[in-house]
Amino acid sequence: METIEKANIDWSNLGFGYYKTDKRFYSNYKDGQWDEGCLTEDENITMNESAGVLQYAQTCFEGMKAYTTQDGKVVIFRPDMNAHRMYESAKRLEMPPYPVDKFVDAVCKVVKANLKYVPPYGTGASLYIRPFMFGSSPVMGVKPAEEYQFRVFVSPVGPYFKGGMKPLTLKISDFDRAAPNGTGHVKAGLNYAMSLHAIVTAHNEGYNENLYPDAKTRTKVEETGGANIFFVTKDNKIVTPKSSTILPSITRKSLLHVAKEYLGLEVVEREIYLTELSEFKECGLCGTAAVISPVGKIVDNGKEICFPTGMDSAGEISKKLYDTLTGIQYGKIKAPDGWIKVVD
Ligand code: PLP
Ligand code: COI
Q: Per-residue pLDDT for 2 more than 90?
A: no
pLDDT score recorded for residue 279: 97
Ligand 1 atom closest to the CA of 62, numbered from 1: 8
Closest by CA position to 137, among listed 128, 122, 124, 147:
147
In this prediction, residue 4 has a pLDDT band, given cuts at 50, 70 and 90, of confident
Q: Rounded mean pLDDT of 20-27?
A: 98
Ligand 1 atom closest to the CA of 254, numbered from 1: 14
For 127-183, write each residue's pLDDT tens digit.
Answer: 999 999 999 999 999 999 999 999 999 999 999 998 878 999 999 999 999 999 999
Q: Rounded mean pLDDT of 295-317?
A: 96
Catalytic residue among 23, 65, 171, 187: 187
The residue type at 250: I
CA of 247 to the centre of ligand 1 (A): 6
Across the chain, mean pLDDT equals: 97
For 199-218, write each residue's pLDDT tens digit.
Answer: 999 999 999 999 999 999 99
Q: Rounded mean pLDDT of 265-279?
A: 98
The residue type at 74: V
288 CB less than 6 Å from ligand 2?
A: yes
In this prediction, residue 336 has a pLDDT band, given cuts at 50, 70 and 90, of very high
d(CA 46, CA 155): 21
For 45-100, write each residue's pLDDT tens digit.
Answer: 999 999 999 999 999 999 999 999 999 999 999 999 999 999 999 999 999 999 99
Burial of 28 (0-12, 13-18, 19+ CB in 10 A): middle
* Helix residue ranges per DSSP H, the chain: 52-56, 79-92, 100-113, 189-193, 196-204, 250-257, 316-329
- Is 112 catalytic? The answer is no
Whether 139 contacts 50, CB under 8 Å: yes
Residue nearest ligand 2's atom 3 by CA: 63
Alpha carbon 115 to chain centroid, angstroms: 21
Please state whether 302 falls in left (phi above 0), alpha (psi between -120 and 50) or beta.
left
pLDDT score recorded for residue 163: 80
Cα three-residue angle 226-229-233, rounded to 5 degrees: 170
226 CB less than 6 Å from ligand 2?
A: yes
Ligand 2 atom closest to the CA of 63, numbered from 1: 3
Whether 130 contacts 76, CB under 8 Å: no
d(CA 29, CA 148): 5
Domains of the chain: 11-158 (3.30.470.10), 168-326 (3.20.10.10)
pLDDT score recorded for residue 270: 98
CA of 130 to the centre of ligand 2 (A): 9
Minimum-distance ligand to the CA of 128?
2
Minimum-distance ligand to the CA of 287?
1
Q: Rounded mean pLDDT of 225-244?
A: 98
CA of 249 to the centre of ligand 1 (A): 5
CA of 127 to the centre of ligand 2 (A): 13
H or E element, residue 61: strand 59-61
Residues across the chain: 344
For 178-189, write each residue's pLDDT tens digit.
Answer: 999 999 999 999
In this prediction, residue 223 has a pLDDT band, given cuts at 50, 70 and 90, of very high
CA of 228 to the centre of ligand 1 (A): 6
**Residue ranges around ligand 1 (CB below 6 Å):** 63, 223, 226-228, 247, 249-252, 287-288
Closest by CA position to 237, among listed 218, 253, 250, 256:
256
Minimum-distance ligand to the CA of 227?
1
Q: Per-residue pLDDT for 1 more than 70?
A: no
pLDDT score recorded for residue 3: 72
